[in-house]
Amino acid sequence: MRQQSRSHAAYGTWPAVGLLAAIGAAGVQAQEVVDLPAEDLPLAADLEPVYRIGSAVARSEWEQFTAVQHIGFDRTGNLYILDAPGPEAGTRVVIVDPAGRHVKDFGRQGEGPGEFQWPRRMVVWADGSTLIEDVLHMGSHVFGPEGDFERMVRGGVGPSLRPDPVDPNTVVGVSWRREDDGVAPL
């Protein structure tokens, strides 16, 4: 029986050797080699500001920011700014239109539904719905397109929050609670 096993192993080796020989005879083509210049070429950027908001001498109160934590855009070009100095007063989301005009604020410091204790990250979907991860709540607040609180999602979604491009009710990220596939349905 031992002799028979050896012969099967030897016969199985020959097809593999033949295949390797055929590949070698045909010649394996490598990636094309491209010669690069010796030095990098600097690119000149000619950027024009679209608008400016926020400064030490802000014209209006809504332009006074304490600690911008995150920003995002909806499909119409509105800018969402998460101004969150930490577990203290002054936390809010400010929405600015594409022309730099104030649209509205939503959210505030507190312990109730839709109130922030220590928000760190924000996800903005195309329709303007917003998810704010709150460290001390150990979860995330979900707000509708008008800035109205909709629900709280328990559990953290992690440092690389981003909206799922296929499902508008899902965020993709790395969980800080446990190792998983990184997809969190809302």
Q: Say which CATH number the domain at 160 has.
A: 2.120.10.30
- Read off the pLDDT of each residue in 2-22 and give the average, rounded to a whole number: 59
Cα gap 154→137, rounded to integer Å = 8
| Residue 19 in domain | no
| Residue 4 in domain | no
| Residue 106 in domain | yes
**pLDDT per residue as tens digits for the range 31-52:** 888 888 888 888 888 888 878 8
pTM score over 0.85 = no
- Work out the burial of residue 29: count CB atoms within 10 Å of its CB; fewer than 13 is exposed, 13-18 middle, 19 or more buried: exposed
The type of residue at 4 is: Q
- Domain hosting 82: range is 61-185
Domain count of the fold of the chain: 1
| Residue 48 in domain | no
Give 156's contacts (C-beta < 8 A, 6+ positions apart): 133, 135, 138, 139, 140, 175, 176, 177
> Is 169:136 a contact under the CB 8 Å cutoff?
no
